[in-house]
Amino acid sequence: MTLQQLRYVTAVAGTGTISHAVQQFYISQPSLTNAIRELEQEVGLALSKTESSVVS
Protein backbone atom coordinates (compact mmCIF):
# COMPACT_ATOMS: atom_id res chain seq x y z
CA MET A 1 0.00 0.00 0.00
CA THR A 2 1.36 3.35 -0.97
CA LEU A 3 0.37 6.85 -0.04
CA GLN A 4 -0.26 7.58 -3.73
CA GLN A 5 -2.77 4.73 -3.97
CA LEU A 6 -4.63 6.16 -0.99
CA ARG A 7 -4.62 9.60 -2.61
CA TYR A 8 -6.10 8.12 -5.78
CA VAL A 9 -8.89 6.39 -3.85
CA THR A 10 -9.78 9.52 -1.92
CA ALA A 11 -9.74 11.60 -5.11
CA VAL A 12 -12.12 9.19 -6.84
CA ALA A 13 -14.36 9.17 -3.76
CA GLY A 14 -14.28 12.96 -3.58
CA THR A 15 -14.98 13.63 -7.24
CA GLY A 16 -17.28 10.70 -7.85
CA THR A 17 -15.70 9.83 -11.20
CA ILE A 18 -12.41 8.38 -12.31
CA SER A 19 -12.18 10.87 -15.17
CA HIS A 20 -12.25 13.84 -12.79
CA ALA A 21 -9.72 12.19 -10.48
CA VAL A 22 -7.21 11.57 -13.28
CA GLN A 23 -7.36 15.25 -14.19
CA GLN A 24 -6.22 16.13 -10.68
CA PHE A 25 -3.11 13.97 -10.97
CA TYR A 26 -2.37 14.36 -14.70
CA ILE A 27 -2.22 10.58 -15.19
CA SER A 28 -4.01 8.17 -17.49
CA GLN A 29 -7.21 6.42 -16.53
CA PRO A 30 -5.64 2.93 -16.82
CA SER A 31 -2.83 3.95 -14.45
CA LEU A 32 -5.27 5.14 -11.82
CA THR A 33 -7.53 2.11 -12.24
CA ASN A 34 -4.59 -0.29 -11.93
CA ALA A 35 -3.33 1.43 -8.80
CA ILE A 36 -6.75 1.14 -7.19
CA ARG A 37 -7.10 -2.52 -8.24
CA GLU A 38 -3.71 -3.33 -6.72
CA LEU A 39 -4.77 -1.67 -3.47
CA GLU A 40 -8.06 -3.57 -3.49
CA GLN A 41 -6.19 -6.86 -3.94
CA GLU A 42 -3.80 -6.01 -1.14
CA VAL A 43 -6.52 -5.19 1.39
CA GLY A 44 -8.86 -7.88 0.09
CA LEU A 45 -11.84 -5.56 -0.32
CA ALA A 46 -13.60 -3.80 -3.14
CA LEU A 47 -13.05 -0.11 -2.46
CA SER A 48 -15.29 1.19 -5.20
CA LYS A 49 -18.45 0.34 -7.07
CA THR A 50 -19.05 1.76 -10.54
CA GLU A 51 -22.54 2.43 -11.84
CA SER A 52 -23.21 4.45 -14.99
CA SER A 53 -19.75 6.04 -14.91
CA VAL A 54 -20.24 7.24 -11.32
CA VAL A 55 -18.04 5.68 -8.68
CA SER A 56 -19.31 5.18 -5.19
Cα–Cα distance, 8 to 21 (Å, whole number): 7
User: pLDDT tens across 1-56, in order?
Assistant: 899 999 999 999 898 888 999 999 999 999 999 999 999 899 888 876 655 455 65
Which residues partner with 55 through β-bridges? 50
**pTM confidence score:** 0.79
Contacts of 29 (CB under 8 A, 6+ apart): 18, 19, 22
Domains of the chain: residue spans and CATH: 3-55 (1.10.10.10)
